[in-house]
Amino acid sequence: MTIVAAGSIATDHLMVFPGRFSDQLVDGKLHHISLSFLADELHIRRGGVGANIAFGLGVLGLRPALVGAVGADFAEYRNWLEAHGVDTAHVRVSTERHTARFVCTTDAEQNQIATFYAGAMGEAGEIDIGETVAAVGDVDIVVISPDDPAAMLRHTRYCRAHGVPFAADPSQQMARMPGPDIRELVDGATYLFTNAYEADLLRQKTGWSTEEVLDRVGVWVRTEGADGVTITGCGKEPVRVDAVPAAVVADPTGVGDAFRAGFLAGRIRGLGLVSAARLGSAMAVLVVETVGTQQYDVEPSALRTRIGQYSDTAAAEIEHAMFGIPTPSAPLEATA
Which residue in the list 12, 107, 148, 257 is annotated as catalytic? 257
Q: Mapping DSSP to helix (H, G, I), strand (E, B) and coil, where does residue 122 land?
A: helix
Report strand pairing: 229-233 vs 219-223: antiparallel
Any long-range contacts for 217-220 (C-beta under 8 Å, 24+ apart)?
217/168, 217/186, 217/187, 217/188, 217/189, 217/190, 217/191, 217/192, 218/189, 218/190, 218/191, 219/190, 219/191, 219/192, 219/273, 220/191, 220/192, 220/194
At a CB cut-off of 8 Å and minimum separation 6, what does 121 contact?
Answer: 8, 9, 10, 68, 69, 100, 147, 148
Geometric angle at alpha carbon 120, from 115 and 122, rounded to 5°: 80
Q: Are 67 and 1 in contact (CB under 8 A)?
A: no
Q: How far apart are CA 165 and CA 334, in angstroms?
A: 29
Any long-range contacts for 211-218 (C-beta under 8 Å, 24+ apart)?
213/186, 216/186, 216/187, 216/188, 216/189, 217/168, 217/186, 217/187, 217/188, 217/189, 217/190, 217/191, 217/192, 218/189, 218/190, 218/191
257 is catalytic: yes
Q: Are 105 and 42 in contact (CB under 8 A)?
A: no
Q: How far apart are CA 169 and CA 18, in angstroms?
A: 31
Element (H, E) at 263: helix 255-268
Residue from 239, 217, 242 nearest 230 by CA: 239
Residues serving a catalytic function are 257
